[in-house]
Amino acid sequence: MTKREMLRGYFAGHDAEGNRLGRRELPDGSTCEIVKNFPTKAQLESQTGEHFSNFQYYLFPELERWIIICGL
């Protein structure tokens, strides 16, 4: 099964604010929608800069993930 096939049904569209929505199945078989945002490094820095020090951003495009490390 390809990644695209595995993810089929997980994308539920966008809400009025432009947030990407994902659909997840719960253990009881019901489903819910979750917000899936993918902020850029600049967006994360601007939103966290006054709260954290030593902001470090690591992008792993092959995993479609990012990690931030910062101090308080």
> Is residue 29 domain-shared with residue 53, that is, in the same domain?
no
Name the residue range of residue 7's domain.
Answer: 1-37
Question: Could you tell me the pTM of the whole model?
Answer: 0.50
> Is residue 30 domain-shared with residue 45, that is, in the same domain?
no
> Is residue 48 domain-shared with residue 68, that is, in the same domain?
yes
The pLDDT of residue 1: 45
> Is residue 24 domain-shared with residue 44, that is, in the same domain?
no
Instruction: Give per-10-residue mean pLDDT for the chain (72 aa).
Output: 56 82 87 83 84 87 84 83
> Is residue 66 domain-shared with residue 49, that is, in the same domain?
yes
**27's tokens:** 């253990």
